[in-house]
Amino acid sequence: MIVPFLDLNAQYRSIKEEIDAAVRAVLEECAFISGPYVARFEEEFALFCGRRHAVAVSSGTSALWLALCSMGIGPGDEVITVPNTFIATAEAISRCGAQPVFVDVEETTFTMNAALIERALTPRTRAVVPVHLYGQCADMDPIMEIAASRNLRVVEDACQSHGAQYRGRQAGSIGDAGCFSFYPGKNLGAFGDAGAVVTDDPELASRIRMMRDHGQPRKYHHDFIGWNDRMDGIQGAVLSVKLGHLAAWNESRRGAAGFYRKCLEGMEGVALPEEAGYGKHVFHIFGIRSGNRDRLLEYLSGRGIQCGIHYPVPIHLQSAYRHLGFGPGSYPVAEKIAREALSLPMYPELKPEQIRFTSEEIRKFHTMAQSGRESGTEGSGNCSRTYPP
């Protein structure tokens, strides 16, 4: 059996008529850059996130950069974030001229350990960027309390957590701003690069709108030096269609995650992802941990099961950030996760038999690893059960 890591074609087929009609409308109206379809998506996405404003931009990376720059973050400033995320989180800080300062993460949720923030603060600290990783929010209450006591801005990196919740609030609705990526493989994915910033601050939203469009409040009038970070009309139209399906798709992901858990529970040598009691996980990634991660990845690949690793080298150990002077052991939890984490196939259309097959092969591998044999099987747990469609 072949189990793809992601099947975008299956999603497209399920909504093909809606998507084709939306794209055709953009083509017929030649509304290619920004325009009415982007504006409509901004209104819909702001409402979805429980925010007053949404500003559509060209990517999640741009969303982070524009949000930070529009808050006045710049040279000489420090911004606290985590090392176990896609490099775009740190890149956005660096592109503002500021310096990323890392704090380690919780081993259960892979998200920012708020208890470590205080010791990372300096007189130059201006902002905190918690990352809602894999579809789960960071523990925001203590982060917001620290930020309020130190007059720090909070920018939620919600690029992997569309529709996740924290104590009943949507991801992106808690800090000064929330930043989203609509990269095609995300829970809410465009047909190319796209992103958005959501906020309740009208002045911040206005500045981001101008900054994404060459600093223009209106055409050919430039209040400051901006950039070209606008969203395409086709992406806005596609995202409007997909947004109407996001809640159902997220529930399908949660169902798949629950079935994985039933199939894999009790397996020695495998740590399953945990859902924090404060929120609702939407499983952009279903990431397990194994001390034999690299061998397991090779084994599953040989069985036709496509998996991934997010992220094998933490940011503080990347060559791009060597100048910060960190070495192995600087952030032990993030480094342990980087050595052990394996992302299993996860998407709304994933079938129970694909989850069952993947889980059984993981059990076989660990039975072999424990016994030292080249072949073997182990019971398949609760995989006889299925999850709702």
Stretch 280-299: mean pLDDT = 97
CA distance 311 to 15: 31
Q: Sort 278 into a burial class: Cβ within 10 Å, 0-12 / 13-18 / 19+.
A: middle
Q: How confident is the model at residue 166 (pLDDT cuts 50, 70, 90)?
A: very high
CA distance 222 to 179: 25
Q: How confident is the model at residue 102 (pLDDT cuts 50, 70, 90)?
A: very high
CA distance 86 to 104: 15
Stretch 375-382: mean pLDDT = 45
pLDDT digits (tens, 9 = 90+) for 308-353: 999 999 999 999 999 999 999 999 999 999 999 999 999 999 999 9
pLDDT of 369:
82
pLDDT of 379:
43
Name the β-bridge partners of 81. 102
190, 230, 197, 238: which is closest to 212 by C-alpha? Answer: 230
Across the chain, where does the E strand assignment appear? 53-57, 78-81, 99-102, 125-128, 153-157, 165-166, 169-170, 177-181, 195-199, 270-271, 279-280, 286-290, 341-344
150, 125, 127: which is closest to 71 by C-alpha? Answer: 127
Fill in the DSSP letter of residue 3: B
- Which residues lie below 8 Å from residue 280, measured CB to CB, with a gap of 6+? 164, 165
**Could you tell me the domains of the chain?**
8-243 (3.40.640.10), 246-371 (3.90.1150.10)
pLDDT digits (tens, 9 = 90+) for 44-71: 999 999 999 999 999 999 999 999 999 9
Terminal CA-to-CA distance of the chain, rounded, Å? Answer: 21
Give the number of C-alpha atoms closer than 13 A to the C-alpha of residue 211, restricted to the C-beta side.
Answer: 21
Q: How confident is the model at residue 378 (pLDDT cuts 50, 70, 90)?
A: very low
What is the Cα Rg of the chain in Å? 21
Locate tokens 């890392």: which residue? 102
CA distance 26 to 44: 18
Q: How confident is the model at residue 373 (pLDDT cuts 50, 70, 90)?
A: low
Locate tokens 């989203």: which residue? 180
pTM for the predicted model, two decimal places = 0.95
pLDDT of 370:
79
CA distance 367 to 387: 26
CA distance 54 to 99: 27
pLDDT of 306:
98
CA distance 190 to 183: 6
Stretch 63-91: mean pLDDT = 98
pLDDT of 381:
52
- With both helix axes pointing from N to C terminus, report the angle between 60-70 and 202-211 in degrees, rounded to the nearest 10: 120
pLDDT of 156:
99
Q: Both tokens of residue 307?
A: 């998996």
- Which residues lie below 8 Å from residue 3, measured CB to CB, with a gap of 6+? 304, 305, 306, 345, 354, 357, 358
